[in-house]
Amino acid sequence: MRLLRVLLPLLCGLSIPLPASAQFVTVSGPPVAPLPETAGLGLCAATSVSRNPAADFPQTQSTYVAGINAFMEANRSNRVTSVLRTPLDLSNNLNDGRTLSYGDFTGVAAGCPLGGCDFGDDDDFTSFATRLRGFIAVTNDMLNRPLHFGFYADDSVSLTLFDRNQTSYPVINRPPTLGAPTWRATKTVYFEQPGLYGVEVLHTNMSEHSALEISMYDGDFADFERAANTPPVINLAAAGFVLVTPEMFHQTESGQSLLPTLTECAQCNRQFSNGPGNGGCEAGYRCNAAALCAPCDSSLFCGASCSPCGASTPYCVSQTEDFVCAQCRDANDCVALDECHLPNCTETGTCASTPVEDGTECTGGTCQQGECRPMDAGTPDAGGPGEVDGGPIPETDGGDMGTDGGDTGSDGGDTGSDGGDTGTDGGDTGSDGGDTGTDGGDTGTDGGTSTPDSGVPAVDAGSNDGGSPAPPTEPASGCGCQGGPQALLPMALLALARVVRRDRRLGTPSRD
């Protein structure tokens, strides 16, 4: 009996749950998507009014999350949805001599009342449930660190994280508790990989005071979970916790907004999350990994039907009013035909190409009209005959024509100063009436047979361009002297002098 008294407290102690400070959550699964380059736009918040909160809002941990989600889906047509664009400090700002709805953070949300920003319903008698969804951005500086999530809630709160495989990580599950509606709690979470993780927050209000604050603290802190007025009372704002802000949360895997208007959003049933088709959303939208209706703007979900893109059109691009599968998003997605073409992507997402500038170097030649033409070493411009650069257009130096490329010459025949015998006097001349002639031989300007007195003049014995390619540099015939009348004058004088001397030797008969 004495032994039983000793063991009984020990056995009972085995059933006591571990202190909250010894509990933490490790998110080890892969992220849903990599971190977007832009800041977040905020969580999507939906609120539904309950006429029978005792039946609609489960009060046990095992049924709370599933029960609140079922209530939200059953009242989809009546729920009010919008994007939470403020720090997560919500309150109905009830002050009945008590300020339980004010929470630990007061006057910190710009543009909101002292106790916090409004819920969808802010009176002190309406029962409602609120569901917030989106993606939390986990950055590199958050990895493998004890990140403490702080909660101040009236009447209930739960926080669940999701990885790419839709594995859920419950962080807190605090259903409504009769007699203790207001709670404070902190929970430690470790993230092992950076990226976007799905997040879902559930909250309910039975009546009177309503509050929901979520904050974070990075560092050493002893976690706790207890009623707000239960000692020791630890004010989270005073302890160094900081409210989470819209910039930490995204609505889509790409970081883009759900709808053109940033304050609008739509939630869907989580059972359709990342499923085929529209998943209960409107045409052109799908139920994404955060269970939000997102545009079908990815290769896996594209266009009005949210169908996957194929191998020939692997990219989902925006057109005038819709997204369509296409070959390319920009020129980087296209391949050039060859060295003489540049790739480009048309407005309809089709790959095309344009020729490079003529003269651009290519392997073994240059590009001309989109073709690589080989170079010709025989011409200065590396083109073939009749071309500057290998093209079909004739140029100055491309063909066989030249200044003296053909059988053309200024004088095609034999050229000389005098083609015949030239003399000053070919006959006998004397004072006694002998025959005298200026030139007894044949004289011609050229190698022809023309003489001053032959009666058959000829300027050139050959054709104009039928002779040698280049004129001779020396006389071809004659006496070897320079041609022309000036060259004959000295010879004529010499011949005349000889005649005079001859006459003197012979003597001239006297007339006496």
Helix, strand, coil % (nearest 5) of the chain? 15, 25, 60
Q: Kindly report whether the peptide bond that precedes residue 34 is cis, defined as omega within 30 degrees of 0.
A: no
Q: Are 265 and 292 in contact (CB under 8 A)?
A: yes
> For position 502, what pLDDT does the model report?
61
Q: Are strands 24-27 and 182-191 parallel, antiparallel or unpaired?
A: parallel
Strand partners, 130: 47, 203
pLDDT of residue 1: 40
How far is residue 382's CA from residue 373's CA, in Å, rounded to a whole number? 10
Phi, psi torsion values for 306, nearest 5 degrees: 55, 45
Reading the block at residue 97, the tokens are 């001599």
Q: Name the nearest CA neighbour of 418 among 359, 478, 467, 358.
A: 478
pLDDT score of 251 more than 80: yes
Q: Which of 179, 165, 80, 69 is nearest to 126 (CA)?
A: 80
pLDDT value at 404 more than 90: no
Q: Would residue 291 be called left, alpha or beta, if left means φ above 0 and alpha means ψ between -120 and 50 degrees? A: left
d(Cα 93, Cα 218) in Å, to the nearest integer?
29
H/E element holding 490?
helix 485-506
Give φ, ψ of 320 to 5 degrees.
-60, -50
Condensed to tens digits (0 to 9), the pLDDT of residues 422-460 reads 444 444 444 444 444 444 444 444 444 444 444 444 444
Q: What is the mean pLDDT of residues 398-421?
A: 43
As given in the structure block, the two tokens for residue 380 are: 């200065």
Instruction: Tell me what pLDDT residue 125 has.
Output: 86
How much is the pLDDT for 433? 41
**pLDDT tens-digit series, residues 45-79:** 999 999 999 999 999 999 999 999 999 999 998 99
Helices assigned H by DSSP within 47-185: 53-56, 61-74
Beta-sheet pairing, 225-227 with 182-191: antiparallel
CA 267 centroid distance within chain: 32
Would you state the pLDDT for residue 507?
52
The pair of three-digit structure tokens given for residue 475, joined into one six-digit string:
């006389």
289, 162 in Cβ contact below 8 A?
yes
User: Which of 88-92, 171-175, 225-229, 372-376 is predicted with the least confidence, judged by mean pLDDT?
Assistant: 372-376
The per-residue pLDDT for 278 is: 92
All domains of the chain in start order, with CATH: 19-250 (2.60.120), 413-507 (no CATH)
**What does the pLDDT read at residue 427?**
43
Q: What is the pLDDT of residue 395?
A: 45
**Residue 5 DSSP code:** H
